[in-house]
């Protein structure tokens, strides 16, 4: 688990094809690796990766085909800047929100506008994630815990203050960029719980308007 509070900006230094998937080397910059051991989890742009080698100034991790298919990892190349966060510990401050490091989908930055000292971004999420994105709710973008300041269908807006721009890779965002999205963990569990006994049925993939009406949530 993670908090979505980025600890450092790292740099992808190598991408090596290996047995049908990829091994990546990430140089971790100011991230303190003093207590990181082999097998520990580190979030890279919101993707939970396992450290398999620790050469000193970074770590190597294996990236599965599933991760390559479901995230914006495919856009990484040597020199790409990435957000880094070590896994949450029992004594960590939960400054953001609970983040699993399991990317739900890839979004696209649609616009970037100056807003006083902040920057306003508009991002389009995959349609199937729209129901989890709520005004003033939490969302994770490339591993960063953020507050949704506007919603219109599958599009949402973020207002990013100077500190966040300086401590994450969001300063690099331009229209057309692909970003990893993870929706609020509690929203996903709540949806599943509301299905009740129907959750055990093979076709129970999520809430529908007819289900909500049948159970008195819609009139």
Q: What is the mean pLDDT of residues 88-106?
A: 84
Confirm whether 98 is domain-assigned: no
- The verdict on pTM exceeding 0.85 is yes
> Same domain for 154 and 191?
no
pLDDT at 94 over 80: no
Look up the domain containing 163 and give its range: 105-185
Mean pLDDT of the chain: 90
Q: What is the mean pLDDT of residues 166-186?
A: 96
Domain count across the chain: 3
Q: What is the mean pLDDT of residues 122-128?
A: 97
At 206 the pLDDT is: 57
> Same domain for 16 and 74?
yes
Please write the tens of the pLDDT for every residue from 192-211.
Answer: 788 878 777 776 555 455 54
> Same domain for 23 and 57?
yes
Neighbours of 109 (CB within 10 A): 19
Confirm whether 99 is domain-assigned: no
| Cα–Cα distance measured from residue 83 to residue 207, given in angstroms and rounded to the nearest whole number | 33
pLDDT at 212 over 70: no
Q: The CATH number of the domain where 25 resides is what? A: 2.40.30.20
| Cα–Cα distance measured from residue 137 to residue 105, given in angstroms and rounded to the nearest whole number | 17
> Same domain for 173 and 210?
no
Please give the order of strands across the beta sheet that includes 155-160: 144-147, 138-141, 178-183, 105-115, 118-124, 155-160, 150-152
At 218 the pLDDT is: 46
């Amino acid at each position: 688990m993670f908090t979505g509070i980025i600890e450092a900006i790292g740099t992808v230094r190598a991408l090596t094809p290996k047995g049908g998937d990829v091994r990546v080397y990430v140089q971790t910059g100011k991230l303190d690796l003093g207590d990181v051991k082999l097998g520990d989890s580190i979030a890279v742009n919101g993707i939970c990766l396992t450290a398999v080698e620790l050469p000193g100034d970074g770590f190597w991790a294996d990236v599965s085909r599933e991760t390559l298919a479901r995230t914006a990892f495919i856009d990484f190349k040597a020199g790409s800047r990435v957000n880094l966060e070590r896994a949450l510990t029992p004594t960590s401050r939960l400054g953001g929100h609970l983040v699993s490091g399991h990317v739900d989908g890839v979004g696209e930055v649609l616009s970037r506008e100056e807003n006083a000292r902040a920057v306003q971004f508009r991002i389009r999420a995959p349609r199937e994630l729209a129901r989890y994105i709520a005004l003033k709710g939490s969302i994770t973008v490339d591993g960063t815990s953020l507050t949704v300041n506007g919603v219109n269908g599958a599009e949402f807006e973020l207002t990013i203050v100077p500190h966040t721009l300086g401590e994450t890779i969001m300063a690099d965002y331009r229209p057309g960029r692909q970003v990893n999205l993870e929706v609020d963990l509690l929203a996903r569990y709540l949806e599943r719980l509301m299905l009740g006994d129907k959750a055990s049925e093979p076709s129970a993939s999520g809430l529908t308007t007819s289900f909500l009406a049948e159970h008195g949530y819609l009139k």
